[in-house]
Structure formats: C-alpha cells, structure tokens
A and B are shown apart, each in its own frame.
Chain A
C-alpha cells in the first residue's frame, strides 16, 4: 500500500473550514484514499473515501488532485467536537489483505 504524509498538527477556528492535506505520491491506479478520525479515547471513525472523483457526504468533502498524488479533507464548518487525530490511508481495493495502515495522522485542534 502507498505511504501517506500528513502534517503533524493543525489549528482551526470554530465555524471556519478545516482543510487537512495528505500527500500520497506513490498511489497506484486501484488504490482508494480513505480518511478516518480518532477522538481521544475512542476508536477510529470512518469519514469518507474516494478513488478519482471528489466526494462529499454529511461529514466532509474529499478533494483528490487530478494526478491523484495528493488529497484534501475539508470539514466545512468545524466545531469543537471535530478536535481529533485525522488519518489519511491508502487502501488497495484489489489486494488480498484489506488492512488499514495508519500513520501518525494530523492532530486537528478546533479553537473557540
């Protein structure tokens, strides 16, 4: 599975958009980009995933560059409850092992 690079930490003001970048320059054609988050002392929570096109759901939007080498997770109106570690994960959809490989993620702190 392709490796990902994320900033260690980011701050965001409550009510503003939070834009979390992820670099996955070695991604291959059949690998999806997944985002999970982990609020302190809880298990990770699935947010969104995408292959080539931009995606949006009730939680967030995912913007994937045309060359697929990077992506951005957007929380449109961050709240204090969005403070968490955000993980960007690349997953091979056609492989035999569907494990998630977590890095250290980005600690997003939403400030009042």
Chain B
C-alpha cells in the first residue's frame, strides 16, 4: 500500500510568490492535517481537514489556506511568501478525526523562499 504521498519534494520560490503543495492520504483515510517544521523545531500544526471541511486551524496567518477534495486529497496554499515560510511542510492522514491509532506522515515538501 502506498503511504502518504506529497508533491513536490523540494521547491524554491521567491518572496511574494504563491505556492501550492499537494498531499494524497493513505487509501481509506478521510482526515488530512498539515504541519510546518522549521529547522531545529518540532512540527507545528497548521490545519486539519476531515470529510472536506476544516476541523482545526493553528496559529498561522490568513496567507495560509487549504482544502480537501472529494477523493480526500488535499492542497495547502501559501500566498505572499516570506523568507520565514521556508520550512518542511508535512502532511499527515488518519482514518478519522481522532486518529486514536496515530497519524501517518508523508516525507514532506521542503520549501525554500529566497
């Protein structure tokens, strides 16, 4: 079975640009969450989507948005990129919202803003 897949794996953008990151959850998983991990820190929660609705949002500015599609895949959009948005962006999926048996993470998208 394929795990959580994220694309692209690496990306370089210029300040002020917009970026879209993509995530395909494990087959059958209906919940997708997004995390940002800057160098040297633990991942920070950005969003959770379940059944195509936003179910949780972390402390991130409105430049960050996301959506979940009918096939449960998800996109994370970041507008007006800042240098500080450089980070590893992780997608995690679970069968349901509670994820009692844990989330499965993808390998992430490494975003560099120059």
In the bound complex, CA of A47 to CA of B42 (Å): 16
**Which residue on chain B has the smallest CB distance to residue A89?**
B42
22 A-B contact pairs sorted by A residue (CB < 8 Å): A32-B100, A36-B102, A43-B92, A43-B105, A43-B107, A44-B90, A44-B103, A44-B105, A87-B42, A97-B48, A97-B55, A97-B56, A98-B48, A98-B56, A98-B98, A99-B33, A99-B45, A100-B43, A100-B45, A101-B45, A102-B43, A102-B44
Give B residues with C-beta under 8 Å from A. Answer: 4, 33, 35, 41-45, 48, 55-56, 58, 90, 92, 97-108
Chain A hits for B101, CB < 8 A? 46, 49
Q: Which of A36, A41, A99, A105 contacts B56 (CB 8 A)?
A: A99
A88 to B45, CA, bound (A): 15
How many pairs of residues, A versus B, come closer than 8 Å at their CB atoms? 61
- Among residues of A, the one whose C-beta sits closest to the C-beta of B58 is A99
Asked if A42 and B107 make an inter-chain contact with CB atoms under 8 angstroms apart, the answer reads yes
Interface of A, secondary structure class, is loop
Closest to A49 in B: B102
Interface size on A, residues (CB 8 A): 23
Name the B residues within 8 Å of A87 (CB-CB). Answer: 42
